[in-house]
Amino acid sequence: MKLSTTLNLYSLLESSHSPERMIEAVKVCSSLGYEDIDVYLKGVIHLPPKELEEWITRMERAIRQCGVSVSQCHLYFGKVERDSLEEYENKVVKSFEIADRMGIGWGVIHPIDYRGLYGVSTEESIRLNVAYFRRLQEKVKPKTTGLAFENIMGCDFASADVLIAICDEACKYGKAGVCWDTGHANLSEGVDQAESIRALGNRLKCLHAHDNHGRFDEHLLPMMGTVDWRKLIAALREIGYEGDFVYESAQPTKHLPEDDLLRKEFIKYSVKLGKYMLENF
């Protein structure tokens, strides 16, 4: 497993995800020890067409010049409302198109909680998510990028069993997998992370690694909360996980001073922490 990070470890300031700062984040994160990055695409889909073209060109140049790989990305996500499902789906499609154009292997998406929206059964929600997956495939016709469904706390998708059911059916229509979010799992009552990872097996393609104290989605670095990282990493090794160990841990940096001194020191520490865990756990 390579150690990787979402670019917002550097680019997130307050609640701002600047597309320009994401390009700088590639240079900073690679210079401080990261060999792989996760591109956060939610922040770029609203760029006007010409600016988006320029951003893609400059981002790809930065990735190439820094010699980093991009194993996964986070596609568009947000609050889903009954009367704006089509608009939401169109935003996911746009981010999916960008990911595929950039040749990124996996794009992480949130399943849609149809049971919460419409009161349907879990089985029907699974069916509707597979239909959603099929529509995304038909609209984008991806050459490279697969879609990995992420576990979400507080709904059916906290369970590995439900993600397995969606993934196995979706694989009939395109490249599908699962992203395991360690922080979401830690907020989901009754979820054993190591057992869930074992159950997912080779369906597990992506990871969002972050910690919390079991009460809020804090997005802390590992070992700053209550996740059992030794058991989790052992389970990843047991299933032969072929993806990267990708931090989604930007919250501790978002309010640091903009002179970057503390931010860069924190990023250096995050690399040391990740490498220690991957070498010793």
pLDDT in tens, 54-96: 999 999 999 999 999 999 999 999 999 999 999 999 999 999 9
- If residue 22 lies in a helix (H) or strand (E), which one and from where to where? helix 19-31
In 252-279, which positions are buried (b, 16+ CB within 10 angstroms) versus exposed (e)? bbbebeeeeeebbebbeebbebbeebee
Burial of 38 (0-12, 13-18, 19+ CB in 10 A): buried
pLDDT at 124 over 90: yes
User: Is the pLDDT reported for residue 15 higher than 90?
Assistant: no
Q: Tell me the CA end-to-end span of the chain in Å, nearest whole number.
A: 12
Mean pLDDT over residues 133-161, rounded? Answer: 97
pTM to 2 decimal places: 0.98
For the cut 90, the answer to whether the pLDDT of residue 48 exceeds it is yes
Taking only the tens place, the pLDDT of each residue in 61-70 is 999 999 999 9
